[in-house]
């Protein structure tokens, strides 16, 4: 059971983390934050739908808890446009944070840079490739991990970690090492991108583990790895696993050529996808973001109920302007503490 | 006459590199191998030039930007947040990037 003080604490950490993220993001051109142009779809109807969906559900452990933080991030506009009273806003934020709390080791929004998940590979079962592995396999795994991240950033308009999650660090059983994992799922979100008939031949899920000889491996608020070491040079061991289909077993990939083939497929998908994104107006990107957010809600509740219901996407366009501006304005805009100041004080 | 301009940015990765500049506005177009990519900012499609480039320099962004995260995973030298970069660099200028200090030297022959 969490108290208003717990939520206020997490919101304070969220605001600090957001300030840090916004100060370092290159969002101005790529982020389609034209939320008001989507009308109520990204405003009141979104937050009301999320609120309704989560009201009767107990928080469950998520493989990708950053999904809930992303949903919180893109609920900011809706929370304001819906003009809820403070207590209702507080409940909304707390429900989302509860999903994060039960999915992570440590606080929902840590300030120490770790992003350790409850659901992960047990260290002893990670199928490390041969410790004397060939350099080409290690390089292939790093290229694949980077491409996976770029792909999911584009697929979800920077709402990464809906499809992939980089997490850790976890202790290594080798001296002086840190293990980080990157897991990916839902790599062919056809329900979000009907324009692309031919998606790459990607597996249902992928898991990569990296054992690096490094001092620290911090993560930002949205689980971006912020280590400053050269990942490709300090990696000592890697493991690559795939699940071909939802009902198929997880298999180990130990052939660099096979990893390279998956990388090529991902890059082919990325190129296709970016062409579609380029063709969308700000409003259409914002409306697509609405679908992405409903897909995030699906992940939280465990079915496709919400992303299959598209009625919200046709709502009238609101009068608002594109949310953009100087860093100070953006930091202020995403600082939800102002929404809860009276509740926290109480 | 050789002219050297020193700019300061933020390192994305502790790696240094040098080479000739190629100014890129569309990362989906091929670039010549062995060059330093110079751009205003990086988006996820910067991955398409990372295997040909020996280094990356961006006028905007920070250590959590797309390009920085990708550079770390790919092991490519990268400096971000270099104010004034685009007004200083011309195509084929010599560039040296220092992954320890975040310094970018732009040399026009």
Q: What confidence score (pLDDT) does residue B17 get?
A: 96
Strand blocks (E) in chain B: 3-8, 10-11, 17-23, 36-39, 55-58, 77-80, 94-97, 103-108
Q: What confidence score (pLDDT) does residue A18 get?
A: 77
Q: How many whole angstroms separate alpha carbon A64 and alpha carbon A104?
A: 10
What does the DSSP 8-state code read for residue A15? Answer: H
A27 three-state secondary structure: helix
Q: How confident is the model at residue A157 (pLDDT cuts 50, 70, 90)?
A: low
Q: What confidence score (pLDDT) does residue A341 get?
A: 57
Q: Are A71 and A96 in contact (CB under 8 A)?
A: yes
For chain A, the average pLDDT equals 79
Torsion angles phi and psi, residue B57, rounded to 5: -135, 130
Task: Kindly tell me if the per-residue pLDDT of A143 is higher than 60.
Answer: yes
Convert the pLDDT of each residue in A292-318 to its tens digit.
888 888 888 877 666 666 554 444 444
Q: Are B82 and B59 in contact (CB under 8 A)?
A: yes
Strands B55-58 and B77-80, sheet pairing: parallel
Task: Kindly tell me if the per-residue pLDDT of A38 is higher than 90.
Answer: no
Convert the pLDDT of each residue in B5-14 to its tens digit.
999 999 998 8
Convert the pLDDT of each residue in A43-84 to its tens digit.
888 899 999 999 988 999 988 888 898 899 888 888 888 888
Q: Are B64 and A224 in contact (CB under 8 A)?
A: yes
Closest approach of chain A CAs to the CA of B85, in angstroms? 15
Tell me if B73 and A145 make a contact (CB, 8 A cut-off).
yes
Nearest chain B residue to A275 by CA: give it: B28
Q: How many whole angstroms separate alpha carbon A259 and alpha carbon A294?
A: 31
B34 three-state secondary structure: coil
Query: Concatenated DSSP letters for A28-92?
Result: HHH----GGGGGGGGTHHHHHHHHHHHHT------S-THHHHHHHHTTHHHHHHTT--HHHHHHH
Q: How confident is the model at residue A9 (pLDDT cuts 50, 70, 90)?
A: confident
Q: How many whole angstroms separate alpha carbon A225 and alpha carbon A233?
A: 16
Nearest chain B residue to A210 by CA: give it: B73
Q: How many whole angstroms separate alpha carbon A9 and alpha carbon A112?
A: 15
Q: Is A267 on the interface with B (CB under 8 A)?
A: yes
Chain B 46-85, residues with CB within 8 Å of chain A CB atoms: 46-48, 50-51, 58, 60-70, 72-75, 80
Q: How many whole angstroms separate alpha carbon A126 and alpha carbon A250?
A: 12
B68 neighbourhood in chain A, CB within 8 Å: 24
Task: Kindly tell me if the per-residue pLDDT of A101 is higher than 70.
Answer: yes
A119, two tokens: 């659901």
Closest approach of chain B CAs to the CA of A43, in angstroms? 27
Strands B103-108 and A250-252, sheet pairing: unpaired
B64-to-A114, A128, A158, A198, A298 alpha-carbon distances in Å: 15, 28, 12, 32, 28
Tell me if B47 and A271 make a contact (CB, 8 A cut-off).
no
Task: Kindly tell me if the per-residue pLDDT of B87 is higher than 50.
Answer: yes
Task: Kindly tell me if the per-residue pLDDT of A183 is higher than 80.
Answer: yes
| ipTM, two decimals | 0.91
Question: Which among A191, A234, A193, A206 has a CA at the least distance from the CA of A147?
Answer: A206
A281, two tokens: 């107006």
Convert the pLDDT of each residue in A235-271 to its tens digit.
888 999 999 888 888 899 989 999 999 999 989 988 8
């Amino acid at each position: 059971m969490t108290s208003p003080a717990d939520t206020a604490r997490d919101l304070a950490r969220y605001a600090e983390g957001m300030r840090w993220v916004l100060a370092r993001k290159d969002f101005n051109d790529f982020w389609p934050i034209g939320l008001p142009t989507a009308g109520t779809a990204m405003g009141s109807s979104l937050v009301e739908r999320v609120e309704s969906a989560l009201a009767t559900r107990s928080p469950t452990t998520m493989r990708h808890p950053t999904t809930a933080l992303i949903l919180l991030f893109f609920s900011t506009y809706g929370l304001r446009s819906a003009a809820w009273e403070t207590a209702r806003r507080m409940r909304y934020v707390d429900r989302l944070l509860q999903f994060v709390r039960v999915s992570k080791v440590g606080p929902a929004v840590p300030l120490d840079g770790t992003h350790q998940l409850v659901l992960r590979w047990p260290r002893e079962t990670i199928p490390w490739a041969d410790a004397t592995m060939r350099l080409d396999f290690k390089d292939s795994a790093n290229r694949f991990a980077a491409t996976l991240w770029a792909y999911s950033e584009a697929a979800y308009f920077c709402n990464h970690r809906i499809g992939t999650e980089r997490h850790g660090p976890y202790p290594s059983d080798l001296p002086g090492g840190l293990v980080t994992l990157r897991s990916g799922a839902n790599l062919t979100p056809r329900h979000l991108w009907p324009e692309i008939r031919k998606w790459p031949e990607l597996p249902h899920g992928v898991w990569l583990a990296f054992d690096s000889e490094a001092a620290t491996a911090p993560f930002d608020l949205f689980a971006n790895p912020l280590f400053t070491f050269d990942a490709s040079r300090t990696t000592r061991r890697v493991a690559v696993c795939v699940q071909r289909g939802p009902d198929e077993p997880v298999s180990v990939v130990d052939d660099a050529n096979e990893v390279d083939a998956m990388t090529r497929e991902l890059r082919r998908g990325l190129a296709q996808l970016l062409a579609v994104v380029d063709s969308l107006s700000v409003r259409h990107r914002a409306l697509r973001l609405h679908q992405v957010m409903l897909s995030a809600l699906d992940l939280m509740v465990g079915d496709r109920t919400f992303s299959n219901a598209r009625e919200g996407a046709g709502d009238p366009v609101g009068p608002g302007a594109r949310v953009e501006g100087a860093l100070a304005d953006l930091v202020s805009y995403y600082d939800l503490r102002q929404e809860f100041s009276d509740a926290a004080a109480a | 006459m050789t002219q050297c301009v020193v700019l300061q940015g933020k390192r994305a990765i502790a790696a240094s590199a040098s080479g000739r500049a190629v100014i890129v506005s569309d990362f989906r177009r091929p670039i010549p191998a062995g060059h330093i990519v110079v751009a205003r900012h990086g988006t996820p499609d910067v991955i398409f030039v990372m295997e040909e480039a020996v280094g990356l320099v961006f006028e905007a962004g920070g250590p959590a930007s797309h390009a920085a995260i990708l550079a770390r995973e790919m092991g490519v030298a990268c400096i971000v947040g270099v104010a004034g970069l685009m007004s200083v660099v011309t195509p084929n200028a010599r560039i040296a990037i220092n992954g320890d200090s975040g310094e970018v030297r732009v040399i026009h022959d």
